[in-house]
């Protein structure tokens, strides 16, 4: 699996529709200071579900929408689209190409799509879980993060290894099942109470 294409429209400094085609292998983005290199990485994080404006170097989520410039009106929405090559089937979806889109309007509402079908953020999280790709996965290492990882507590380091080992999905399923079990047990206790009162 690899990222084949990034398309930005109205995202941060990318007012116009801008397309980046990426070939397998190493790709480097070079450009002068302030030209938008980090904005491209922010865009990838954002599509994959980043919910923290601070992590995207803003103060509120609408800050990702092109804010206007000299002679150029602000935009009312931002959209980012990623296309992943899935010919090896690493993503559990029956397509050799997977397109993820996130769109946000000035009222703060976000829309998500997987292969043009509207979906929930949860669906995107589940699709990328254990693949190493995701807003918290290790595929995006930002400036200073290497030091953070080295200095992190053993429990935090463990999360990175669990993602790499591909067991996060199962841990999450276990957590959900235990929650359901607990709810069912509480319902049974309530039922017992009702039965006792009826007797």
**Which one, 53 or 119, has the nearer CB to ligand ATP?**
53
Alpha carbons 138 and 154: distance in angstroms, whole number:
16
Q: Given the complex with ligand ATP, which of 106 and 175 has the nearer CB atom? A: 106
Task: Choose between 50 and 163: whose C-beta lies nearer to ligand ATP.
Answer: 50
- Map residue 127 onto helix, strand or coil: helix
User: According to the annotation, is 35 in a ligand binding site?
Assistant: yes
Tell me: is residue 139 an annotated ligand-binding position.
no
User: Is 32 within any annotated ligand binding site?
Assistant: yes
State yes or no: 37 annotated in a binding site: yes
Q: How far is CA 75 from CA 14, 29, 44, in A?
A: 10, 25, 19
- As measured in angstroms, the least distance from the Cβ of 138 to ligand ATP is 21
At 32, list the tokens: 């002068």
Residues at the contact surface with ligand ATP, assessed by CB under 6 A: 12-13, 31, 33-39, 63, 65-67
Strand order in the sheet with 2-9: 18-21, 2-9, 77-85, 97-105, 110-114, 117-119
Q: How far is the CB of 42 from ligand ATP (least distance, A)?
A: 7
Rounded to a whole number of angstroms, the minimum distance from the CB of residue 59 to ligand ATP is 11
Q: Are 82 and 5 in contact (CB under 8 A)?
A: yes
Do the annotations mark residue 174 as ligand-binding?
no
Residue 140 Cβ vs ligand ATP, minimum distance, rounded to whole Å: 14
* Beta carbon nearer to ligand ATP, 34 or 154: 34
Specify the residue for token string 């206007």.
Answer: 68
The answer to whether 80 and 47 have CB atoms below 8 angstroms apart is: yes
Task: Show binding-site residues.
Answer: 32-39
In the annotated binding site for ATP, the residues are 32-39
């Amino acid at each position: 699996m690899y990222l084949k294409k990034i398309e930005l429209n109205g995202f941060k400094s990318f007012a116009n529709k801008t397309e980046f085609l990426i070939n397998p292998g190493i790709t480097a983005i070079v450009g002068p200071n302030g030209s938008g290199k980090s904005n491209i990485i922010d865009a990838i994080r954002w599509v994959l579900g980043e919910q923290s404006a601070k992590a995207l170097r803003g103060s509120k989520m609408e800050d990702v929408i092109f804010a206007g410039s000299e002679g150029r009106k602000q935009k009312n929405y931002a959209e980012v689209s990623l296309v992943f090559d899935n010919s090896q089937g690493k993503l559990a979806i029956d397509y050799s190409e997977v397109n993820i889109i996130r769109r946000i309007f000035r009222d703060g509402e976000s829309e998500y799509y997987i292969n043009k079908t509207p979906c929930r953020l949860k669906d995107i999280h589940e699709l990328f879980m254990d693949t190493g790709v995701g807003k918290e996965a290790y595929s995006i290492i930002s400036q200073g993060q290497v030091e953070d990882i080295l200095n992190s507590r053993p429990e935090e380091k463990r999360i990175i290894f669990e993602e790499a080992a591909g067991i996060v999905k199962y841990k999450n399923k276990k957590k959900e099942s235990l929650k359901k079990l607990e709810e069912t047990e509480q319902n049974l206790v309530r039922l017992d109470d009702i039965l006792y009162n009826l007797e």
